[in-house]
Structure 1
Amino acid sequence: MSEQQQPVFAIEKIYVKDLSLEIPNAPNIFLERDTPEINLQLGTKSQSIDDGLYEVLLTVTVTAKIKDKIMFLAEVQQAGIFRIRHVPDGDIDPILGIGCPNILFPYLRETVSDVVTRAGFPPVILNPVNFEAIYHQKRAETNAN
């Protein structure tokens, strides 16, 4: 008698893989009173690191500018190691592209806010992200090519 094994999804580790902060126009930029323009770039990627183990990386680059001067540039790579076993192959990609980034995002948001605050600026609070929409958009672009 063969018994179907139950699907396994577990968080093995959540960690900051890379963290960078630049304030190229310090100290004068702290004297500026204008409201900065904030630009965000967000990306995800994943890789298999062992049988049933995957690393998912969520990267955000936050650039704050006042006119043509960069106020600060912060980049955070929030990563996680996830154990995924006994899941149909067609379901692994959505788990890595939607489920895991949703788990990592609150940690990423906290890290960005903390590092920007520690640099002497008001916190940057990242708005929620719809990783499902991003995943489906990437799939549509890949299928179109």
Structure 2
Amino acid sequence: MAEQNNGAAAEQAQFIIQRIYVKDVSFEVPGAPQVFSEAGQPQLDLNLNQKVARVADGLFEVVLGVTLTCKVGEKTIYLAEVAQAGLFQLSGFDDRTLDMMLGTYCPNVLFPYARQQVGELVAAGGFPPFYLQPINFEALYAEGLRRRAAQAQQGDGVPAEGGQA
């Protein structure tokens, strides 16, 4: 009987992808066409960010932002920016699990789409292919939790949830 109750509770948690879409995209080559003859080793700088917004009860928009900047020396060769978004229906999760789902699972769903967009932008700009390597969103989420706990502890002297005094 207890197994039936646990099964019923587990069935209540739902994760549904409503829609995946490109929210914003930009590609700039500020020094074209001269940059195509630039000599030197290109330096790539990758910046990731994530935004979560509650759209309605149980409906969340998650936006994974990817910015790739290629420079030779101090000169920007190209700048690719993609804001890959999704609408996700999440219900039946406790607050901690909901936060984890929005911080890890949703970006993992969006990442392949963002990777494809960045790769296509770079290629369409006339540059050698760029393959965005896989990202460990679970590790990034854990680091974010650690930083939040440290800030909370410094801010009021009270340990964060799960922290030790």
Using the size of structure 1 for normalisation, the TM-score is: 0.94
**Is 1:91 matched with 2:97?**
yes
Checking the alignment, whether the CA contact within 8 Å between 1:41 and 1:62 is kept in structure 2 is yes
**Inter-partner Cα distance in structure 1 for 2:63 and 2:69:** 20
Q: For 1:54, which of 37, 49, 60 is the aligned residue?
A: 60
Letter of the 1:97 counterpart: G
Aligned length: 144
**Inter-partner Cα distance in structure 1 for 2:68 and 2:61:** 23
What is the match of residue 8 of structure 1?
A: 14
**Inter-partner Cα distance in structure 2 for 1:119 and 1:50:** 38
**Secondary structure at 2:98 match in 1:** helix
The CA RMSD measured in Å over matched residues stands at 1.4
Aligned ranges 1:55-74 → 2 under 5 Å: 55-74=61-80
**Inter-partner Cα distance in structure 2 for 1:122 and 1:50:** 42
Q: For 1:138, which of 134, 141, 144 is the aligned residue?
A: 144
Q: Which runs of 4+ in 1 moved over 4 A?
A: 2-5
The Cα of 1:44 is off from its aligned counterpart by: 1.1
Q: Answer 1 or 2: which has greater strand percent.
A: 1
Structure 1 runs not aligned, ≥5 long? none
Q: Answer 1 or 2: which has greater helix percent.
A: 2
Using the size of structure 2 for normalisation, the TM-score is: 0.83
The Cα of 1:77 is off from its aligned counterpart by: 0.5
Checking the alignment, whether the CA contact within 8 Å between 1:117 and 1:123 is kept in structure 2 is yes
**Inter-partner Cα distance in structure 1 for 2:41 and 2:111:** 26
Structure 2 runs not aligned, ≥5 long? 152-165
Q: For 2:24, which of 11, 18, 22 is the aligned residue?
A: 18
Q: Which has the higher contact order (CA 8 A, sep 6+)?
A: 1
**Is 1:104 matched with 2:106?**
no
Larger Rg: 2
Q: For 2:33, which of 2, 27, 30 is the aligned residue?
A: 27
**Secondary structure at 2:12 match in 1:** coil
The Cα of 1:33 is off from its aligned counterpart by: 4.2
